[in-house]
Structure 1
Amino acid sequence: MKLADVIAVLESAYPPKTAESWDAVGLVCGDPGEEVTRVLVCVDPTSSTVDEALEGGAQLLLAHHPLLLRGVNGVPADEPKGALVHRLIRGGAALYCAHTNADSALPGVSDALAQAIGLTVTGPLEAGEEGGTGIGRIGELAAPEPLSAFAQRVADALPATVQGVRAAGDPDRPIRRVAVCGGAGDSYLATAKRAGVDAYVTADLRHHPASEHIESGGPALVDVAHWASEWPWCEQAAEILRSAFGGRVDVLVSTRRTDPWTVGATSTAAGGLA
């Protein structure tokens, strides 16, 4: 298969026109006319995943996060991002990024997160222009369970990180109807509250918005690491390519943990706090 054939499948599943105006999606480097026999799917295009792609003989690294999100005037090899572009080109590998277009697609990033948690999706959190597309998903558990058990369910479903999984709300609160948003989702706190869900699962929640949300009677919050929330998408994207090419292209999911946090510590000082 040619790289152009793989791109056509990706752009059918994750149309570039649905990406946010500020986003940078599509082919970063690579020749559409070159042959592709192996693809590696990852969340982050980093030195680690580039190593993995080149060591594994992949001709395409498919990443969720863009490498060059902000405008650049060049990609010199003595700068970190430029160095990755040069290494990929020298190694005969292309880089393609599907970001907010993969977030809003059906299925998309949040569908993969919902499936990993065990939710039956009923619709988007914030609807898009077509059908069930849009940002985030709302789904239901087969049966209610307390927030403490639900938080553990989420932790068990996602790859481990230093941050782990934390929840805000009454540990005994029954959880059945859930909103999810892969990636940073605190801009949808009000949307989740209006949706009347029992809990909202997302990443990168900040202190003040989370505190104000809980104080205002919003749904319970489950905060996970950004990378972990989007990692289930890798298998979704891989399966789309496998189905399209019927085994003619070997599609692998990265095993590298690219969450930036590497050390965790717990305070042993009581500090007189209740």
Structure 2
Amino acid sequence: MAVSTATPPRSLADVISAFEAVYPPAWAMEWDAVGLVCGDPEQRVERVLFAVDPVAAVVDEALEWGADLVVTHHPLMLRGVTSVAANTPKGNVVHRLIRAGAALYTAHTNADTAAPGVSDALARAVGLNGPLRPLDPDTTDPEGRRGIGRIGALDQPMILHDFAAQVAQGLPATAPGIRVSGDLDRLITTVAVSGGAGDSLLGAARAAGVDAFVTSDLRHHPASEFGEDPGPALVDTPHFASEWPWLADGAIHLADALARGDGRNGANVEIRVSTVVTDAWSQTFHHI
């Protein structure tokens, strides 16, 4: 995907300002680390790459394309570090970007809770086409639209087997694929989704009375115990795959925000979505 516009080049500060009008950092969780990681606010930005993870493969892609700014969903510095030496993985990312004159910016839980946000994009990717509402609403939002996760309905009910296949088809292919817990012949009509790790929302999904819950990183014990009582079927997707659909949304919203700021049709910024699969797992093996 590429989005092109046609007015004078923008500074990094301008681009960040436009982006934060859509995904304010104040919406991020207290423990999160969002915002500008490295880069000169006065530098010119003509090419922006959206990616899930700030890892070496994404830096390779960004520098090969000539990106001036990389926007990632996952933070590089989520946990405290005492060094960004170039011989460490995180330090190597920072040094390579700075040497190339490229900036790094993170939108994490502020993009999760936004409306539309990460889970809206996931919901559409797996086939929820009607109105959506938050699974875990943000109580500070008077409109009731923001929050973690989304609940919606399929256009037509389908059995869990077919719904799981639809989920797999709607998300980028990864080595682990998806896992399912529940009767494969169960009829699925209403669905809750949450991009990223969803263990903490199992109770909310049960309370919502949905037929299935699509999320990532479900651990053995919580999922096993959840399955012992009547409740939603579980569809566990790779973490990277559940958050990748948001990248295209983020790119479109940034282009729109820049255009609104100009009062014209755009801002001379080309925006691309990374196609590099950065899921942590590269291969699965099964007993034969």
- For the Cα contact (< 8 Å) 1:114–1:121, is it kept in 2? no
- 1:224 pairs, out of 237, 243, 252, with 237
Counterpart mapping for 1:152-171 below 5 A: 152-171=165-184
1:99 matched residue in structure 2 = 108
SS of 2:71's partner is strand
Q: Contact between 2:69 and 2:104, CA under 8 Å: does it hold in 1?
A: yes
Alpha-carbon deviation of 1:5?
Answer: 1.2
Aligned to 1:6: 15
Structure-2 separation of matches of 1:211 and 1:70: 30
Q: Distance in 2 between matches of 1:177 and 1:14?
A: 28
Match of 1:271 in 2: none
Query: Post-superposition shift, 1:242?
Result: 2.1
2:276 maps to which residue? 256
Give how far 1:142 is off.
0.6
Structure 2 unaligned spans of 5+: 1-9, 259-265
**SS of residue matched to 1:160:** coil
Where does residue 136 of structure 1 map in the other structure?
A: 149
Equivalent in the alignment of 2:30? 21
Q: Give the superposition deviation at 1:171.
A: 0.7
Where 2:44 maps in the other structure, the secondary structure is: coil
Aligned residue in 1 for 2:126: 117
Any conservation in 2 of the 1:126–1:191 contact (CA below 8 Å)?
yes
Q: Residue 70 of structure 1: CA displacement?
A: 1.1
Find the residue that maps to 1:78 and give its secondary structure. Answer: coil
Alpha-carbon offset, residue 165 of structure 1: 1.2
- Which residue of 195, 210, 213 corresponds with 2:208? 195
Give the Cα–Cα distance (whole angstroms) in 1 for the partners of residues 59 and 218 of structure 2: 29
RCO greater where, 1 or 2, for CA within 8 Å and sep 6 or more? 2
Take 2:107 and 2:277, find their aligned partners in 1: how far apart are those partners?
19
Residue pair 2:70, 2:102 contacting (<8 A) in 1 also? yes
Partner Cα distance (1:91, 1:227) in 2: 26
State the SS of the aligned residue for 1:251: strand
CA distance in 2, matches of 1:223, 1:80: 29
Identity of aligned residues (%): 59
The runs of at least 4 consecutive aligned structure 1 residues that moved more than 3 Å come to none
* Residue of structure 2 equivalent to 1:211: 224
Residues 111, 121 of structure 1: 8 Å contact kept: no
TM norm structure 1: 0.96
Q: What does residue 34 of structure 1 align with?
A: 43
Write the deviation string for residues 97-153 of structure 1: whole angstroms up to 9, x where unpaired: 000111001111000000111212420000002120000000111111000000000
The amino acid across from 1:217 in the alignment is P
TM-score normalised according to structure 2 size: 0.91
Amino acid at match of 1:230: E
Does the 8 Å contact 2:63/2:100 carry over to 1?
yes
Q: Secondary structure at the match of 1:141?
A: strand
Counterpart check, 1:85 vs 2:98: no
CA-CA distance at 1:59 after TM superposition: 0.3
Deviation of 1:180 after TM superposition, in Å, equals 0.2
Q: For residues 205-229 of structure 1, what are the alpha-carbon distances to aligned partners after superposition, in whole Å with 9 as ceiling and x for unaligned?
A: 1111111111111200000000000
For residue 72 of structure 1, report the CA deviation from its aligned partner.
2.1
Task: Kindly provide the amino acid, as one letter, of the partner of residue 235 in structure 2.
Answer: V
- Using the TM superposition, give the Cα deviation of residue 247 of structure 1 relative to its aligned residue in structure 2, in angstroms: 5.8
Give the conservation status (yes or no) of the 8 Å contact 2:19–2:257.
Answer: no
2:61 corresponding residue in structure 1: 52
8 A contact 1:41–1:252 mirrored in 2: yes
Letter in structure 2 aligned against 1:204: D
Aligned equivalents of 1:242, 1:222: Cα separation in 2: 33
Question: How far apart in 2 are the matches of 1:121 and 1:60?
Answer: 33
Q: Match of 1:66?
A: 75
Q: Over residues 80-102 of structure 1, what are the superposed CA-to-partner deviations in whole Å (9 max), with x where a residue is unaligned?
A: 10111011000010000000111
What letter matches 2:173 in structure 1?
A
Distance 1:134 1:16 in 2: 14
AA of the residue aligned to 2:221: H
- Give, as a single letter, the amino acid of the residue that structure 1 aligns with 2:71: L
- Corresponding pairs, count: 268
Instruction: Indicate conservation of the 8 Å contact 1:121/1:137, yes or no.
Output: no
